[in-house]
Amino acid sequence: MKRSRLPAVTLVLVMVFFYLPIIILVVNSFNEHKYGSAWSGFTLEWYVHLWKDADIWHALRNSLLVASVSTVVSTVLGTVAAYALDRVHGKLQKFHNGLIYMPLVMPDLLMGMSLLLFFVAVGFKLGLASICVAHITFCISYVAMVVLARLQDFDFSMMEAAYDLGANSWTATTRVLLPALAPGIAAGALLAFTLSIDDFVITFFVAGPGSNTLPVVIYSMMKHSRFMPVINALSTLLLVVTFVAVGSSQLINNKKGTDLP
Amino acid sequence: MSGFLEFEGITKSFGDLKALDHVSLSIRQGEIFSLLGPSGCGKTTLLRICAGFETPDSGRVLLDGKDITDLPPNRRKVNTIFQNYALFPNMTLRENIAFGLQIAKVPKKEIAERVEAMLQLVQLEYHAHKRPHQISGGQKQRVAIARALINRPQVLLLDEPLAALDLKLRQRMLVELDGIHDEVGTTFVYVTHDQSEAMGLSDRIAVLNRGVVEQVGTSTEIYEAPRSSFTAAFIGDTNFFNGRVCEIIDNEYCLIEIEGIEPRLRFFNDKNLRANVRVDVSVRPEKFSMDRNPPVPSLKHNTLRGIVEDIIYLGSHSKCWVRINDEYLISVTSQHSRFLLDRKPILWNEEVWISWHADDGYMLERYDENDEALLALPSDTDLIEEPAAVDDVEAE
């Protein structure tokens, strides 16, 4: 019987569709030609430009700052929210669940606009702080969802066992509950960081003058200066960082895996 | 009352459901005391009240003379073995066992020594470095025991600890639990719905039904002298009859007239009933002897004639249902130690005589016809699932 070629063809098409643009981007970041329409020679000039571009470094610093703050805050709040959703069984439980789900399904555009209106209405100064608040708002939902999934698998008789063995709530929580939830909390934090660092739409609305994050700066560079090669170089660097991060996390996970029988 | 662990008038409701209704029990120091009953009878609630996870609506719990009703779980010298063991998955077995002592801030050297001793007691020395997901159910069970006992509790609570194990392992763990109890001498309170576990392990048993204590006693008392139809039907199998006392003989025995049964039946009158009183009586299936020839008449024996309607072979014995006068279906256990040598085993639809000694029938104080549902009737399809081993323990 002849084997169908369809799977192989599909695979190749999907790979091309996914990765060809990225490859073009990487190649163009080394292309001497300013508009990337043709190959005119290898150069590292764009990386030098990038290195000297104070705006980009400023934006990157902003992005990292915002992502770090909103990750920490939303992880703590999201975990607490998940715990409350799982353990407290009030009349408004369904309503609370819906509230937490909302930002997940709400269009970013709507969220950005409403946050902007809110900040203006209460007289909150637009800047890094407002971006942080906005990011925390939507990150909480993601963290809560991830931690909640983990909590639902947690057997609370383990907490009772800890109390039974003499632990108070603090010890039981730190020594039994949190270690069990740790993978969920870590995954939630990672998700929050990722979402925060590449959020564009919401940030675009609530960013004030001089508080631009990396995605916003890249957007304005494309729109106004059209200095594409530097953006290509920046994207390539981000790509490398992402690959290293994902690869090392895989490595760590695999190492842990060898513990198992 | 002067028990070591006392429950005084414990009442607990969950919404409209009354889980426990004025339960009073007195448990002696060093005994294995079982709370036995079907699911929903309140036995686990009582255990959780003892551990401190629930607070009773009214009533008190006294441990060694001190009122512990309002103490939180972490301040009671009581430890629990949970049904699913609730071992901490992020710790090794050694860390699991040491947990209680670490919380109590026992010096490190002492912790190490006591953990080692516990590991030896439960025979897990070679697995101490493993984590809970790497060991078997029986081993988890032993870790849970060690983790609880290392704190030297005054009372050890066991919440259906063997429910998650298979039959053979359950029997072995039962023996091990007994051995551990002999070694440490701690008071055990053991919750189970399995009558064979309770009877095999306990010094005394409290039978619970719908939040009420039906009877407290040793295994033998509960089995041989059940006070209520519930106890009689829940523990082992039995046959119920309702009749009227019609004659007292020698102040010791009485003749009971049962509608549809000829002749009148002789029972031991331990309740000192007078004539013309209605009474419910019960006779266990293994008390009957069955033969196809009429037995030699005897004053102290009752004899009935019937037709064998059904026989179920269960290995160690067979269960027969004998129809009397087209009305009563009586469950009879027939031992067959020489099954293959019996030239003519009794078969279906044969006419047989069943007889039993007057002392083997028992008068009940309370009868509830719902309890008949607890008896396995031949129409029940789940009869075959009943393990023969259960009946072995009952027969003790």
* Amino acid at residue number A170: W
Q: Is the pLDDT score of B224 beyond 50?
A: yes
CB contact at 8 A, A181 and A154: yes
Kindly determine whether residue A165 and residue B151, on different chains, have CB atoms separated by under 8 Å: yes
Residue positions counted in chain A: 261
| Cα–Cα distance list, B229 to A188, B21, B225, B267, B361 (Å) | 57, 19, 11, 17, 13
Q: Which of A194-203, B144-153, B369-378 has the lowest mean pLDDT?
A: B369-378
Residue of chain A nearest B98, judged by CA positions: A165
Q: Is the pLDDT score of B31 beyond 60?
A: yes
How, if at all, do strands B78-81 and B155-159 pair?
parallel
Domains and CATH numbers, chain A: 45-227 (1.10.3720.10)
pLDDT score for B390? 41
Q: Which of B193, B195, B269, B280 is nearest to B229 (CA)?
A: B280
**DSSP per-residue letters across A157-212:** HHHHHHHHTT--HHHHIIIIIHHHHHHHHHHHHHHHHHHHHT--HHHHHH--TT--
A chain contacts of residue B88, beta-carbon cutoff 8 Å:
158, 161-162, 175-176, 179
Average pLDDT, chain A: 86
Q: Is the pLDDT score of B147 beyond 90?
A: yes
Which chain A residues touch B if contact means CB-CB below 8 Å?
155, 157-158, 160-168, 171, 175-176, 179-180, 260-261
Average pLDDT, chain B: 87
Q: Give the CATH H-level superfamily of domain B5-229.
A: P-loop containing nucleotide triphosphate hydrolases (3.40.50.300)
Chain pair A-B, CB pairs under 8 angstroms: 66
Region B324-343 average pLDDT:
76
Kindly determine whether residue B88 and residue A160, on different chains, have CB atoms separated by under 8 Å: no
Kindly determine whether residue A164 and residue B51, on different chains, have CB atoms separated by under 8 Å: yes
DSSP state of A261: -
Q: What is the pLDDT of residues B106-137, one digit of tens each?
A: 999 999 999 999 999 888 989 999 999 999 98
CB contact at 8 A, B122 and B69: no
pLDDT score for A13? 93
CB contact at 8 A, B101 and B150: yes
Residues forming beta bridges with residue B335, ordered by sequence position: B317
Q: Is the pLDDT score of B377 beyond 80?
A: no
Q: Which of B15-24, B143-152, B328-337 has the lowest mean pLDDT?
A: B328-337
Q: Which residue has the higher pLDDT, B309 or A228?
A: B309
CB contact at 8 A, B210 and B195: no
Q: Rounded to a whole number, what is the distance in Å from the CA of A164 to chain B's nearest CA? A: 5
Q: Is the pLDDT score of B392 beyond 80?
A: no
Chain A touched by B273 (CB under 8 Å)? no
Look up the pTM and report it: 0.80
User: pLDDT grade, residue B300 (50/70/90)?
Assistant: confident
Region B201-220 average pLDDT:
93
Tokens of A92: 């408004």
CATH topology identical between B5-229 and B230-394: no
Q: Which residue has the tokens 């030098």?
A: A48
Region B244-256 average pLDDT:
88
Closest CB from A166, A176, A261 relative to B100: A166
User: pLDDT grade, residue A39 (50/70/90)?
Assistant: confident
Domain covering B230-394: architecture = Beta Barrel (2.40)
Q: Is the pLDDT score of A110 beyond 90?
A: yes
User: pLDDT grade, residue B68 (50/70/90)?
Assistant: very high
B chain contacts of residue A155, beta-carbon cutoff 8 Å:
84, 86
Kindly determine whether residue A157 and residue B103, on different chains, have CB atoms separated by under 8 Å: no
pLDDT score for A162? 94
Chain A touched by B134 (CB under 8 Å)? yes
Residue of chain B nearest A178, judged by CA positions: B90
Kindly determine whether residue B103 and residue A167, on different chains, have CB atoms separated by under 8 Å: yes
Q: Which of A153, A249, A144, A154 is nearest to A189 (CA)?
A: A144
Distance CA A130, CA A115 (A): 9
Region B308-319 average pLDDT:
86
DSSP state of A223: I
pLDDT score for B342? 58
Region A99-106 average pLDDT:
86
Residue B242, Ramachandran bin (φ over 0: left; ψ between -120 and 50: alpha; else beta): beta
Kindly determine whether residue B79 and residue A157, on different chains, have CB atoms separated by under 8 Å: no
pLDDT score for A248? 80
Write a three-state SS string for chain B: CCCCEEEEEEEEEECCEEEEEEEEEEECCCCEEEEECCCCCCHHHHHHHHHCCCCCCEEEEEECCEECCCCCHHHCCEEEECCCCCCCCCCCHHHHHHHHHHHCCCCHHHHHHHHHHHHHHCCCHHHCCCCHHHCCHHHHHHHHHHHHHCCCCCEEEEECCCCCCCHHHHHHHHHHHHHHHHHHCCEEEEEECCHHHHHHHCCEEEEEECCEEEEEECHHHHHHCCCEHHHHHHCCCCEEEEEEEEEEECCCEEEEECCCCCCCEEEECCCCCCCCCEEEEEECHHHCEEECCCCCCCCCEEEEEEEEEEEEECCCEEEEEEEECCCEEEEEEEECCCCCCCCCCCCCCCEEEEEEEHHHEEEECECCHHHHHHCCCCCCHHHHHCCHHHHHHHCC
* Amino acid at residue number A116: L
Residues forming beta bridges with residue B23, ordered by sequence position: B10
Residue of chain A nearest B50, judged by CA positions: A164
User: pLDDT grade, residue B172 (50/70/90)?
Assistant: confident
CB contact at 8 A, B330 and B321: yes
- CB count within 10 Å of CB B140 equals 20
Distance CA A132, CA A71 (A): 9
Q: Is the pLDDT score of B318 beyond 70?
A: yes
Q: Which residue has the higher pLDDT, A108 or B394?
A: A108
Q: What is the pLDDT of residues B265-285, one digit of tens each?
A: 999 888 888 888 899 999 999
Work out the end-to-end distance of chain A between its first and last CA atoms, rounded to an integer number of angstroms.
41
User: pLDDT grade, residue A256 (50/70/90)?
Assistant: low
Domain ranges of chain B: 5-229, 230-394
Q: Which of A88-102, A226-240, A243-257 has the lowest mean pLDDT?
A: A243-257
Top-confidence range, A220-229, B85-94, B367-376? B85-94
Distance CA B55, CA B48 (A): 8
User: pLDDT grade, residue A254 (50/70/90)?
Assistant: low
Interface test with A, best of B54, B71, B74 (most A CBs within 10 A): B74
Q: Is the pLDDT score of B337 beyond 80?
A: no
- CB count within 10 Å of CB B368 equals 14
Q: Is the pLDDT score of A252 beyond 80?
A: no
- Tell me the percentage of chain B whose pLDDT exceeds 70: 92
Tokens of B17: 């459901």
Residue of chain A nearest B75, judged by CA positions: A166
Q: Which residue has the higher pLDDT, B82 or A92?
A: B82
Environment class of A90 (CB within 10 Å of its CB; exposed 0-12, middle 13-18, buried 19+): exposed
With the CA atoms of A196, A202, A206 and A211 taken in that order, what torsion angle do they form, in degrees rounded to the nearest 10? 40
B chain contacts of residue A161, beta-carbon cutoff 8 Å:
80, 82, 86-88, 147
Q: Which segments of chain A does DSSP mark as H helices, in order?
A: 6-28, 45-52, 54-87, 93-105, 108-122, 128-153, 157-164, 169-172, 178-197, 201-206, 214-220, 228-257
B chain contacts of residue A168, beta-carbon cutoff 8 Å:
74
Distance CA A234, CA A232 (A): 5
Tokens of B49: 């009240």
- Tell me the percentage of chain A whose pLDDT exceeds 70: 94
